[in-house]
Amino acid sequence: MKQAHTIEEVKALKESTRPVVFLWSAAWCPDCVYLVPFLDRIEADNPEFDFYKLDRDELLDEAIDQDILGIPSFTVYKAGNELGRFVSKLRKTPQEIQGFLNSVKEA
């Protein structure tokens, strides 16, 4: 999974003509680490999306602007529009993440 490190990168990615999935996480977050073993499979199973990991602490101002209060969380943008979000402080399963991505595909 690629990573964006600046607010400028995030803003440019949000304008992409392809849907971009942002995974908001942090190195200290155990529920974020829990995702690591299955993220590659989710990314491979959803080639219509571009995936980017964002460090919530590194991009705190952007996280606040997007109301990302709990991590891990997912947001999806395309052409400057938010297509969906899966935001909570709870651990996420592969099935829940795939269900979220499916709902965004259908929107």
Task: Look up the CATH superfamily of 2-106.
Answer: Glutaredoxin (3.40.30.10)
Residue pLDDT, tens place only, 21-52: 999 999 999 999 999 999 999 999 999 999 99
Q: Global pTM?
A: 0.94
Where are any strands of DSSP class E within 1-107? 2-3, 20-25, 50-55, 73-78, 81-86
Q: How confident is the model at residue 91 (pLDDT cuts 50, 70, 90)?
A: confident
Burial of 24 (0-12, 13-18, 19+ CB in 10 A): buried
- Predicted local confidence at residue 69, as pLDDT: 84
- Predicted local confidence at residue 106, as pLDDT: 76
Q: How confident is the model at residue 107 (pLDDT cuts 50, 70, 90)?
A: low
For the chain, the domains span 2-106
